[in-house]
Amino acid sequence: MPDANNSIVIENLLKQFGDFVAVDRINLEIRKGEVFGFLGPNGAGKSTTIRMLCGLLTPTSGHAQVAGYDVAREPESVRQNIGYMSQKFSLYNDLKVIENIRLFAGLYSVPSNQLSERIEWALGMANLKGRENLITATLPGGWKQRLALGCAVLHKPPVVFLDEPTSGVDPISRRQFWDLIHHMAEEGVTVFVTTHYMEEAEYCNRLALIFRGKIVALGTPSELKQKSMKGELLLVECQPLGNAVEVLQSAPDVMDAAVFGNALHLVVRDATAAIPQVKKYLSDRSITVGRVEKIHPSLEDVFVSLTTASDSGKEWEA
């Protein structure tokens, strides 16, 4: 029997479309009240996984339980116990604030005796009291996205799925939004976030990275930054950058080289050993070298490293 503290349990979950294995026997346990981030490049199996978790797509084999319900056998119950929000598609822009709330209350079958209390709650949470009659399209981004969240959780679901919830929102509104999310999580709501943006991933308690249908990394943001890189990262200031990238790509012990603004990012096996080697290698080839130093990888560096290292980025777009 599954652990009662887990709100999403995924066991050997597999989805095949013909010969193509979109999701390849993945396993995950997500605790109640956890803010969990699910990352992966386009076509890696992210959307397929989420569709299965939301009860919209039947797994080929394996199991997944969401809020205690089996996604294959009880998809209806799963759907009644989740909320879903995406920054882009959730709200009807030409409806008033209150009309959007009523619409979602209807869609999620909020019982009529709870309706007025839930509407009040959503308006309060989104800070839209007194603004019920504004047309949604005219709201600033940060307000709109809080309204979308309010609409997605009107029926008090124990599990909420968020798809790039704060993309394009200004940083101050984004920080407020994530405070709201962490507050919900503290009250026991499980939050499952999918995103391409590492700025959003930093707000998650734990992250999983899916690539070619498999989970290739799992941990807290700082664990991933410390442990998941295949190699260490160097910042190299040099001129001209274009030539430097070319020669470094074929240099010994350099796993990857890329231009990053006014400098290069280099992935090497051992940063301390590589620093003098890189300096010499470049100056031997008449490239002017400035600062060369070890830097801490960002989540994006980790992401790119894990999703390109296995095959140098070729032909994964199947």
Partner 1 sequence: MTEQPQSAIIAEGLTKGFPGVRAVDHLSFDVSSGEIFGLVGPDGAGKTTTLRMLAGIMPPDAGVASVAGFNVAHDPEGAKHQLSYMPQRFGLYEDLTVDENIRFYADLFGVRKAEREERSTQLLQAAGMREFRKRLAGKLSGGMKQKLGLVCALIHRPKVILLDEPTTGVDPVSRRDFWRILYELASEGVAILTSTAYLDEAERCHRVALLHQGKLLFCDTPANLKAKLGKSVLSITSSKPRGLRDELEHAMGISSLVLTGDGLHVVVDDAARRIPEFEARLNSAHVPFDTIQQVTPTIEDLFVDAVSSGASVHA
**Binding residues for partner 1 (CB under 8 A):** 35, 37, 40-43, 140-141, 167-173, 175, 178-179, 182, 186, 196-199, 201-207, 220-223, 240-242, 258-262, 296, 298, 300, 303-304, 307-308, 313-315, 317
Nearer CB in complex with partner 1: 106/240: 240
Q: How far is the CB of 190 from partner 1 (least distance, A)?
A: 14
Distances (CA, A) of 284 to 194, 265, 278: 46, 20, 10
Least separation in angstroms between residue 79's CB and partner 1 is: 26
State in angstroms the smallest separation of the CB of 33 from partner 1. Answer: 11
* Cβ-proximal residues to 228 (8 Å cutoff; 6+ apart), any chain: 209, 217, 219, 302, 305, 306
Q: How far is the CB of 52 from partner 1 (least distance, A)?
A: 20
Residue labelled with tokens 């209150």? 98
* Distance of closest approach, residue 318 Cβ to partner 1, in angstroms: 10
Shortest distance, position 175 Cβ to partner 1, whole Å: 5
At residue 294, the 3 state secondary structure works out as: strand
> Which residue, 43 or 158, has its beta carbon nearer to partner 1?
43
Q: Which is nearer to partner 1, 103 or 180 (CB)?
A: 180
**Residue closer to partner 1, measured from CB, 1 or 172:** 172
CB closer to partner 1, 260 vs 277: 260
Which residues have CB under 8 Å from 121's CB, separation 6+?
A: 150
Burial 186-208 (b: 16+ CB within 10 A, else e): eeebbbbbbbeebebbebbbbbb
**Residue 241 and residue 259 in contact, taking contact as beta carbons nearer than 8 Å:** yes
Distance between CA atoms of residues 256 and 249, nearest Å:
6
Closest to 161 in 3D by CA, of 21, 77, 52, 59? 52
Q: Tokens for 244, please give them.
A: 């430097």
Residue number with CB closer to partner 1 (57 or 204): 204
Q: Round to whole Å and give the CA distance between 296 and 285.
A: 27
